[in-house]
């Protein structure tokens, strides 16, 4: 039996990295998101709310660089916090109302906003929306802790304690630490990292989330992204490869397969905040546990295929992550070889393996023919 | 005085076999004007092994005949793998462009081209796209060198 820790080949890691790159927010949309964030921040600071200290920052997957493309039909969901230091007490509903009033009085935003129970959603026609959650500092916990509006089952809004900046700091401090200085915590927006610059943990989280979306097709049964990210982060060992990050993650999922034992996942930067509230619905936790079991099996099967049957390995990857990102990744690798062929830097090593490091004899040019 | 071009001398079967046998996973022997070689090719580190055979008739106008023996090449739905002759042999070069002639060593031409073909074949099976370009009989490019 292949264990989760069986060595993942460099070539498979490369393919997995390309798959992750194909499911994350593409650079063109990231640029748009940054522009819109700048515009939005200026707008809020110039609004009536701007007479108070305002800090607008990204939270969630956009903040920590683990965005994942929604399956077809959905938009990217980019989350932001507008933290405002108001004098005196304020009710959560009043703060949401104040933010709604600011947006709806704007000719620029009025036609592109939705009122959500605890945030304002700004809709952009080109594939993403930005959820702006209003927040106030949490004086009780201090530091970067905040209070945000949260709707209870009875529909009432109450203050909910959280700490997204603390969470981001925790995630970024996990081994292996990002080598590049610019990958360290930067407020209010993280630097845009290409797929090649992401840490193995960031990439592992993206693949895990994508796999969850592909396998848990009912949105209502999906576990919150922050819970999966926390589980992945907690499993992180110290080895600096994507293969080991995934192996650690897959191994840790064994703790979630018992439907009668529902763990509680809290915010590592704010232990009072329970992130896994949705698991109180047994069906949601059951779906999570079932997915965990499936992922462990799929991972075992995947590790047996490299060097045995490339098309079957690609099929397994498509099962796990969806066909489009896998097809695109396979084409990218093949295109690199074709480029090497065109530039006469492709050759063959022992056993017939194509290599792009030139050896003594690079392959002669030729044209496929026949029908 | 007319200048006559010399036709390059064909490599002997013994020399062809010798160079093929120097490669790992290949075994070649030459009989009377016929070379038979079998080998095992893994085109990429993620691929499985393919058993391949080459038959080459010295003095024949036919190209070396390359067959993928095991596992046999698969179709993609109803579509057969591209760039093969009627008998299923791989069509690895454009004959009229003299990309291969009997004066060339099979070990450094045909055999590396087999790896390239199998890599393109695997990508084609997965994606439906043949990444290695090429021409089909009757296409304009076939005669571009004429």
A360 and chain B in contact, CB less than 8 A: no
Any chain B CB within 8 A of the CB of A317?
A: no
pTM of the full predicted structure?
0.90
pLDDT tens per residue across span A238-259: 768 999 999 999 999 999 989 8
Q: Which residue of A has its CA nearest to B23?
A: A350
User: Long-range pairs for B39-42 at CB < 8 Å and ≥24 separation?
Assistant: B39/A352, B39/B111, B40/A351, B40/A352, B41/A351, B41/A352, B41/B111, B41/B114, B41/B115, B41/B118, B42/A307, B42/A351, B42/A352, B42/A353
DSSP code for B76: B
Residue A187 has pLDDT above 70, yes or no: no
**B111 inside 8 A of chain A by CB:** yes
Can you tell me the distance from the alpha carbon of B49 to that of A166, in angstroms, rounded to the nearest whole number?
A: 50
Mean pLDDT, chain B, integer: 89
CB pairs under 8 A between A and B: 152
Residues of A in contact with B95 (CB under 8 A): 369
3-state secondary structure of B119: helix
Residues of chain A contacting B106 with CB distance shorter than 8 Å: none
CA–CA min distance A322, chain B (Å): 13
Closest Cα in chain B to A367? B93
The DSSP-derived string for A23-79 is: HSPPHHHHHHHHHHHHHHHHHHHHSGGGGS-EEEEEEHHHHHT---PPSTTPPEEEE
Question: Which residues in chain B have Cβ-Cβ distances shorter than 8 Å to A353?
Answer: 42-45, 115
Q: Is there a contact between B112 and A334 if contact means CB atoms under 8 Å apart?
A: no
Instruction: Give the residue among A48, A327, A46, A24 at the shortest CA–CA distance from A190.
Output: A24
Residues of A in contact with B94 (CB under 8 A): 366-367, 369
Q: Is the peptide bond before A229 cis (omega within 30 degrees of 0)?
A: no
CB contacts, 8 Å: B134 with chain A: 367-369
What does DSSP assign to residue A345?
A: -
End-to-end CA distance of chain B: 26
The answer to whether the beta carbons of residues B39 and B52 sit under 8 Å apart is yes
* A312/A330 Cα distance (integer angstroms): 13
Instruction: Give the whole-number percent of chain A exceeding pLDDT 70.
Output: 93
Q: Please name the member of A309, A331, A341 whose beta carbon is closest to the beta carbon of B116.
A: A341
**B66-86: per-residue pLDDT in tens?**
999 999 999 999 999 999 998
Is B77 an interface residue toward A (CB < 8 Å)? no
Distance CA B56, CA B144 (A): 27
ipTM of the complex: 0.90
Nearest to A351 among B24, B127, B141 (CB): B24
Give the pLDDT score at B8. Answer: 77
pLDDT (tens digit per residue) in A122-175: 999 877 899 999 999 999 999 999 999 999 888 899 999 999 999 999 999 887
The pLDDT score that the predictor gives to residue B146 is 35
């Amino acid at each position: 039996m292949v264990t989760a820790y069986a060595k993942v080949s460099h070539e498979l890691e490369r393919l997995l990295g390309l798959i992750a790159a194909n499911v994350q927010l593409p650079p063109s949309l990231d640029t748009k998101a940054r522009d819109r964030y700048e515009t939005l921040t200026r707008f809020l600071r110039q609004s009536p709310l701007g007479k108070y200290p305002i800090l607008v920052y990204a939270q969630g997957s956009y903040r920590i660089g683990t965005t994942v493309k929604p399956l077809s039909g959905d938009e990217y969901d980019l989350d932001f916090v507008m933290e405002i230091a108001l004098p005196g007490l304020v009710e959560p509903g009043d703060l949401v109302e104040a933010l709604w009033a600011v947006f709806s009085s704007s000719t620029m935003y009025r036609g592109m906003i939705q009122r959500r129970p605890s945030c304002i959603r700004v809709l952009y026609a080109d594939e993403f929306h930005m959820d702006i959650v209003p927040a106030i500092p949490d004086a009780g916990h201090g530091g970067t802790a905040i209070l945000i509006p949260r709707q209870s089952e009875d529909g009432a809004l109450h203050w909910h304690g959280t700490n997204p900046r603390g969470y981001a700091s925790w995630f970024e401090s996990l081994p292996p630490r990002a080598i590049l200085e610019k990958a360290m915590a930067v407020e209010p927006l993280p630097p845009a990292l290409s797929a090649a610059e992401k840490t193995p943990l960031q990439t592992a989280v993206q693949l895990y989330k994508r796999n969850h979306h592909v396998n848990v097709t009912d949105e209502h049964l999906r576990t919150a992204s922050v819970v999966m990210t926390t589980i992945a982060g907690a499993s992180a060992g110290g080895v600096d490869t994507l293969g080991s990050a995934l192996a650690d993650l897959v191994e840790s999922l064994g703790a979630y397969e018992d439907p009668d034992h529902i763990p509680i996942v809290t915010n590592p930067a704010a232990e009072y905040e329970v992130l896994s509230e949705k698991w109180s619905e047994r069906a949601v936790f059951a779906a999570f546990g079932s997915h965990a079991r499936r992922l462990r099996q799929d991972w075992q099967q995947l590790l047996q295929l490299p060097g045995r049957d490339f098309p079957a390995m690609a099929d397994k990857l498509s099962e796990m992550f969806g066909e489009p990102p896998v097809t695109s990744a396979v084409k990218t690798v093949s295109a690199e070889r074709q480029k090497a062929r065109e530039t006469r830097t492709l050759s063959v090593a022992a056993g017939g393996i194509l290599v792009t490091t030139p050896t003594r004899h690079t392959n002669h040019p030729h044209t496929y023919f026949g029908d | 005085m007319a200048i006559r071009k010399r036709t390059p001398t064909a490599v002997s079967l013994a020399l062809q076999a010798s160079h093929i046998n120097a490669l790992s996973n290949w075994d070649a022997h030459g009989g009377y004007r016929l070379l038979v070689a079998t080998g095992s090719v893994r085109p990429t580190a993620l691929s499985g092994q393919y058993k391949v055979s080459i038959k080459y008739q010295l003095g024949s106008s036919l190209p070396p005949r390359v067959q993928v023996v095991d596992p046999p090449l698969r179709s993609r739905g109803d579509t057969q793998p591209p760039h093969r002759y009627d008998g299923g042999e791989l069509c690895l070069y454009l004959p009229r462009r003299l990309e291969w002639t009997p004066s060339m060593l099979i070990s450094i031409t045909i055999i590396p081209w087999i790896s390239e073909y199998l890599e393109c074949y695997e990508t084609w099976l997965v994606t439906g796209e043949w990444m290695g370009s090429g021409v089909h009989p009757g296409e304009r490019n076939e005669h571009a060198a004429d």
